[in-house]
Amino acid sequence: MARKICFGFRRLRPGGLILLALVAAGSGVRAEPAVTSVRIGDYPDKSRFVLDLTEPVTFSVFAVADPYRIVIDLPEVDWRIDPRKPPKSRLVTGFRYGLFKPGTARVVLDIARPAMVVSRFMLPPAEGRGHRLVIDLAPATREAFLKSMPRPPSAEAAARAEETPQPPPRKPGPPRDGRHIVAIDPGHGGVDPGTIGVSGTKEKEITLAMAREIRRQLLGARRYRVIMTRDSDVFVRLRDRIAIAQHAGAELFVSLHADSIADHKIRGGTIYTLSETASDAEAAALAAKENKADLIAGLDLSDQSETVAKILIDLRQRLTKNASVVFARDVVGELRRTTHLLPHNHRFAGFAVLKAPEIPSILIEMGYLSNITDERLLRQPRHRQQLAAALVRAINAFFAQAEAHNRP
Where in the chain are the domains?
31-150, 168-406
pLDDT at 95: 86
Q: How far is CA 129 from the centre of its chain?
A: 34
* pLDDT over 60 at 387, yes or no: yes
CA separation (Å) from 165 to 155, 244, 349? 17, 18, 31
Position 105 scores a pLDDT of 92
pTM equals: 0.75
Task: Give the residue, 373 or 8, on which the prediction is more confident.
Answer: 373
Among 80, 38, 73, residue whose Cα is nearest residue 58: 73
Convert the pLDDT of each residue in 190-200 to its tens digit. 999 898 999 98
d(CA 88, CA 71): 17
What is the pLDDT, as a whole number, of residue 161? 33
pLDDT score recorded for residue 20: 36
- For residues 271 and 334, the answer to whether their CB atoms sit within 8 Å is no
pLDDT at 9: 36
Q: What is the mean pLDDT of residues 17-42?
A: 64
pLDDT at 187 over 70: yes
Average pLDDT of the chain is 81
Residues linked to residue 79 through DSSP beta bridges, in sequence order: 35
Which has the minimum average pLDDT: 119-133, 171-185, 364-378?
A: 171-185
Q: How do residues 330-370 score in pLDDT, each as one tens digit?
A: 999 999 999 999 988 898 877 887 877 788 999 999 999 99
Residues in the chain: 408
Dist. CA 5–CA 366, nearest whole Å: 21
Residue 81 has pLDDT above 70, yes or no: yes
End-to-end CA distance of the chain: 50
pLDDT value of position 402: 83
- The residue that leads in pLDDT, 155 or 276, is 276
Q: What does the pLDDT read at residue 176?
A: 61
pLDDT at position 17: 37
φ/ψ of residue 406, rounded to 5: -90, -5
pLDDT at 290: 76
pLDDT, one tens digit per residue, over 227-264 is 999 999 999 988 899 999 999 999 999 999 998 888 99
217 within 8 A of 392, measured Cβ to Cβ: yes
Tell me the CATH architecture of domain 31-150: Sandwich (2.60)
- Provide the CATH topology of domain 168-406: Aminopeptidase (3.40.630)
Position 14 pLDDT exceeds 70:
no
Residues 6+ apart with CB under 8 A from 125: 131
- Is the pLDDT at 375 greater than 50? The verdict is yes
What does the alpha-carbon distance between residue 252 and residue 272 come to, in Å, rounded to a whole number?
A: 14
Q: pLDDT-derived band of residue 393, with 50, 70 and 90 as boundaries?
A: very high
Q: At what angle do helices 318-335 and 381-406 cross, to 10 degrees?
A: 140
Q: Which has more pLDDT, 175 or 157?
A: 175
Q: Taking residues 318-341, what's their average pLDDT?
A: 89
Residues forming beta bridges with residue 294, ordered by sequence position? none
Please, which pLDDT band fits residue 318 given cuts at 50, 70 and 90? low
Spatial separation of the C-alpha atoms in residues 34 and 70, rounded to whole Å: 21
User: What is the sign of the dihedral through the CA atoms of 377, 188, 275 and 406?
Assistant: negative
Residue 406 has pLDDT above 80, yes or no: no
Helix (H/G/I), strand (E/B), else coil: 69: strand
Q: Is the pLDDT of residue 124 over 70?
A: yes
> Range with the lowest mean pLDDT among 26-35, 158-167, 366-375?
158-167
CA distance 325 to 28: 55
CA angle 61, 236, 350 (to 5 degrees): 115
